[in-house]
Amino acid sequence: MIIVAHVLLILLGATEILQADLLPDEKISLLPPVNFTIKVTGLAQVLLQWKPNPDQEQRNVNLEYQVKINAPKEDDYETRITESKCVTILHKGFSASVRTILQNDHSLLASSWASAELHAPPGSPGTSIVNLTCTTNTTEDNYSRLRSYQVSLHCTWLVGTDAPEDTQYFLYYRYGSWTEECQEYSKDTLGRNIAC
Protein backbone atom coordinates (compact mmCIF):
# COMPACT_ATOMS: atom_id res chain seq x y z
CA MET A 1 0.00 0.00 0.00
CA ILE A 2 2.87 2.37 0.82
CA ILE A 3 4.52 1.67 -2.57
CA VAL A 4 1.27 2.47 -4.39
CA ALA A 5 0.99 5.75 -2.46
CA HIS A 6 4.56 6.74 -3.42
CA VAL A 7 3.92 5.92 -7.10
CA LEU A 8 0.69 7.93 -6.99
CA LEU A 9 2.51 10.91 -5.43
CA ILE A 10 5.25 10.70 -8.07
CA LEU A 11 2.66 10.62 -10.88
CA LEU A 12 0.77 13.56 -9.38
CA GLY A 13 4.04 15.48 -9.02
CA ALA A 14 4.94 14.82 -12.66
CA THR A 15 1.50 16.02 -13.76
CA GLU A 16 1.87 19.21 -11.75
CA ILE A 17 5.31 19.88 -13.26
CA LEU A 18 3.95 19.42 -16.79
CA GLN A 19 0.98 21.69 -16.09
CA ALA A 20 3.24 24.29 -14.47
CA ASP A 21 5.15 24.44 -17.75
CA LEU A 22 2.01 25.76 -19.45
CA LEU A 23 0.50 28.03 -16.82
CA PRO A 24 -1.65 30.74 -18.43
CA ASP A 25 0.15 33.55 -16.60
CA GLU A 26 3.44 32.58 -18.25
CA LYS A 27 3.82 34.10 -21.70
CA ILE A 28 4.69 31.73 -24.52
CA SER A 29 5.55 33.59 -27.67
CA LEU A 30 4.74 31.66 -30.83
CA LEU A 31 6.54 32.64 -34.01
CA PRO A 32 5.15 32.05 -37.53
CA PRO A 33 6.69 29.37 -39.74
CA VAL A 34 9.34 30.44 -42.27
CA ASN A 35 10.06 29.63 -45.93
CA PHE A 36 6.40 28.95 -46.74
CA THR A 37 6.05 27.95 -50.40
CA ILE A 38 3.39 26.61 -52.73
CA LYS A 39 4.58 24.40 -55.57
CA VAL A 40 2.52 22.87 -58.39
CA THR A 41 3.36 19.14 -58.41
CA GLY A 42 0.89 17.86 -60.99
CA LEU A 43 -2.42 18.47 -62.68
CA ALA A 44 -4.51 20.36 -60.10
CA GLN A 45 -2.08 19.39 -57.32
CA VAL A 46 -0.04 21.63 -55.06
CA LEU A 47 2.44 20.99 -52.29
CA LEU A 48 2.54 23.42 -49.37
CA GLN A 49 5.84 23.41 -47.46
CA TRP A 50 7.27 25.43 -44.57
CA LYS A 51 9.86 25.20 -41.83
CA PRO A 52 9.53 25.80 -38.10
CA ASN A 53 10.79 29.21 -37.09
CA PRO A 54 14.43 28.70 -35.98
CA ASP A 55 13.98 31.39 -33.29
CA GLN A 56 11.01 29.57 -31.73
CA GLU A 57 11.64 28.87 -28.04
CA GLN A 58 11.40 25.13 -27.32
CA ARG A 59 9.68 24.38 -24.00
CA ASN A 60 8.95 20.66 -24.28
CA VAL A 61 5.60 21.34 -25.95
CA ASN A 62 4.21 19.85 -29.14
CA LEU A 63 3.66 22.62 -31.61
CA GLU A 64 1.20 22.16 -34.44
CA TYR A 65 0.34 24.13 -37.53
CA GLN A 66 -2.96 25.51 -38.73
CA VAL A 67 -3.27 25.62 -42.52
CA LYS A 68 -5.86 27.89 -44.10
CA ILE A 69 -6.63 27.66 -47.81
CA ASN A 70 -7.87 31.11 -48.82
CA ALA A 71 -8.63 30.59 -52.52
CA PRO A 72 -10.04 29.17 -54.70
CA LYS A 73 -12.12 27.39 -52.05
CA GLU A 74 -11.74 28.06 -48.33
CA ASP A 75 -10.54 25.23 -46.10
CA ASP A 76 -8.97 25.06 -42.66
CA TYR A 77 -7.15 22.19 -40.95
CA GLU A 78 -4.39 21.37 -38.47
CA THR A 79 -1.29 19.23 -38.91
CA ARG A 80 1.86 18.30 -37.00
CA ILE A 81 4.07 17.99 -40.11
CA THR A 82 5.58 20.81 -42.16
CA GLU A 83 4.05 20.01 -45.52
CA SER A 84 0.63 19.40 -46.95
CA LYS A 85 -0.68 18.20 -50.32
CA CYS A 86 -3.81 19.66 -51.82
CA VAL A 87 -5.89 18.78 -54.88
CA THR A 88 -7.75 21.79 -56.22
CA ILE A 89 -8.48 23.87 -59.29
CA LEU A 90 -5.62 26.21 -60.14
CA HIS A 91 -6.76 28.22 -63.18
CA LYS A 92 -7.97 31.11 -60.99
CA GLY A 93 -4.91 31.09 -58.74
CA PHE A 94 -4.30 29.64 -55.28
CA SER A 95 -3.44 31.19 -51.93
CA ALA A 96 -2.89 29.76 -48.47
CA SER A 97 -1.62 30.70 -45.03
CA VAL A 98 -0.04 28.75 -42.18
CA ARG A 99 0.61 29.59 -38.53
CA THR A 100 2.11 27.91 -35.50
CA ILE A 101 -0.40 26.89 -32.83
CA LEU A 102 -0.31 25.45 -29.33
CA GLN A 103 -3.44 24.05 -27.76
CA ASN A 104 -3.95 23.26 -24.12
CA ASP A 105 -7.04 22.58 -22.04
CA HIS A 106 -7.74 26.26 -21.49
CA SER A 107 -6.95 28.08 -24.70
CA LEU A 108 -5.41 28.20 -28.15
CA LEU A 109 -2.20 30.15 -28.62
CA ALA A 110 -1.32 31.11 -32.19
CA SER A 111 1.37 32.97 -34.08
CA SER A 112 0.74 35.42 -36.87
CA TRP A 113 0.11 33.98 -40.34
CA ALA A 114 2.70 33.28 -43.04
CA SER A 115 1.12 33.46 -46.49
CA ALA A 116 1.94 32.44 -50.05
CA GLU A 117 0.14 32.73 -53.38
CA LEU A 118 0.12 31.26 -56.87
CA HIS A 119 -1.18 33.69 -59.45
CA ALA A 120 -3.63 32.62 -62.13
CA PRO A 121 -1.84 31.44 -65.27
CA PRO A 122 -1.33 34.18 -67.86
CA GLY A 123 -3.79 34.56 -70.67
CA SER A 124 -5.83 37.23 -72.36
CA PRO A 125 -9.29 37.89 -70.91
CA GLY A 126 -12.04 36.13 -72.82
CA THR A 127 -9.82 33.39 -74.26
CA SER A 128 -10.61 30.70 -71.67
CA ILE A 129 -12.99 27.95 -72.68
CA VAL A 130 -16.56 28.08 -71.40
CA ASN A 131 -19.21 25.44 -70.70
CA LEU A 132 -16.82 22.51 -70.22
CA THR A 133 -19.00 19.40 -69.94
CA CYS A 134 -17.67 15.88 -69.42
CA THR A 135 -19.49 12.56 -69.30
CA THR A 136 -18.24 9.06 -68.60
CA ASN A 137 -19.55 5.79 -69.93
CA THR A 138 -18.78 2.46 -68.26
CA THR A 139 -19.24 -0.78 -70.19
CA GLU A 140 -18.58 -4.36 -69.20
CA ASP A 141 -15.50 -5.91 -70.80
CA ASN A 142 -15.76 -9.69 -71.02
CA TYR A 143 -12.50 -10.04 -72.96
CA SER A 144 -10.04 -8.69 -70.39
CA ARG A 145 -8.94 -10.49 -67.25
CA LEU A 146 -7.29 -7.40 -65.76
CA ARG A 147 -10.39 -5.17 -65.79
CA SER A 148 -13.96 -6.30 -66.01
CA TYR A 149 -15.09 -2.92 -67.33
CA GLN A 150 -14.00 -0.09 -69.61
CA VAL A 151 -14.54 3.59 -68.91
CA SER A 152 -14.68 6.19 -71.66
CA LEU A 153 -14.58 9.96 -71.18
CA HIS A 154 -16.18 12.48 -73.54
CA CYS A 155 -15.75 16.22 -73.01
CA THR A 156 -16.96 19.24 -74.98
CA TRP A 157 -16.37 22.97 -74.58
CA LEU A 158 -16.98 26.28 -76.28
CA VAL A 159 -14.18 28.51 -77.51
CA GLY A 160 -13.62 31.69 -75.49
CA THR A 161 -15.70 34.61 -76.75
CA ASP A 162 -12.64 36.80 -77.43
CA ALA A 163 -10.22 34.04 -78.48
CA PRO A 164 -8.25 34.76 -81.67
CA GLU A 165 -8.79 32.31 -84.52
CA ASP A 166 -5.41 30.66 -83.95
CA THR A 167 -6.08 29.88 -80.24
CA GLN A 168 -5.73 26.18 -79.48
CA TYR A 169 -7.07 24.21 -76.51
CA PHE A 170 -5.80 20.96 -75.00
CA LEU A 171 -7.48 18.72 -72.43
CA TYR A 172 -5.61 16.86 -69.70
CA TYR A 173 -7.30 14.56 -67.24
CA ARG A 174 -6.17 12.72 -64.15
CA TYR A 175 -7.23 9.46 -62.54
CA GLY A 176 -5.53 9.06 -59.16
CA SER A 177 -1.88 9.90 -59.81
CA TRP A 178 -2.09 9.04 -63.52
CA THR A 179 -2.33 12.06 -65.89
CA GLU A 180 -2.88 11.97 -69.64
CA GLU A 181 -3.70 14.30 -72.50
CA CYS A 182 -6.71 13.62 -74.70
CA GLN A 183 -5.76 11.33 -77.61
CA GLU A 184 -8.65 12.19 -79.98
CA TYR A 185 -9.86 15.77 -80.44
CA SER A 186 -12.84 16.98 -82.43
CA LYS A 187 -12.24 20.32 -84.16
CA ASP A 188 -14.35 23.27 -85.25
CA THR A 189 -14.26 24.80 -88.75
CA LEU A 190 -11.13 26.80 -87.83
CA GLY A 191 -9.27 23.65 -86.69
CA ARG A 192 -9.51 24.44 -82.96
CA ASN A 193 -10.00 21.59 -80.50
CA ILE A 194 -13.54 21.73 -79.11
CA ALA A 195 -14.11 18.19 -77.83
CA CYS A 196 -12.28 15.11 -76.67
> What is the count of structural domains for the chain?
2
Which pLDDT does position 195 carry in this prediction? 95
Q: What would the pLDDT profile of 174-189 be if each residue is shown by its tens digit? A: 877 778 899 999 999 9
Torsion of CA 193, 170, 168, 130, to 10 degrees: 80
Q: What is the maximum alpha-carbon separation in the chain?
A: 94
Range of the domain at 89: 34-118
How confident is the model at residue 142, as a pLDDT?
Answer: 67
Q: Provide mean pLDDT across the span 109-114.
A: 92
Confidence category of residue 145, pLDDT binned at 50, 70, 90? low
Is the pLDDT reported for residue 134 higher than 90? yes
Q: Is the pLDDT of residue 14 over 50?
A: no
20 vs 113: CA distance, rounded Å: 28
Percent of the chain with pLDDT over 70: 82
- Number of residues that this document lists for the chain: 196
Average pLDDT over residues 126-151: 80
The type of residue at 26 is E
Do residue 44 and residue 109 come from a single domain?
yes
Mean pLDDT, the chain, whole residue set: 81
Confidence of residue 79 (pLDDT cuts 50, 70, 90): very high
- Give the CATH number, domain containing residue 142: 2.60.40.10
More confident residue, 180 or 51: 51
Is residue 142 a part of any domain in this protein? Answer: yes
- How confident is the model at residue 26, as a pLDDT? 56
pLDDT, residue 17, reads 40
Residue 56 lies in a domain: yes
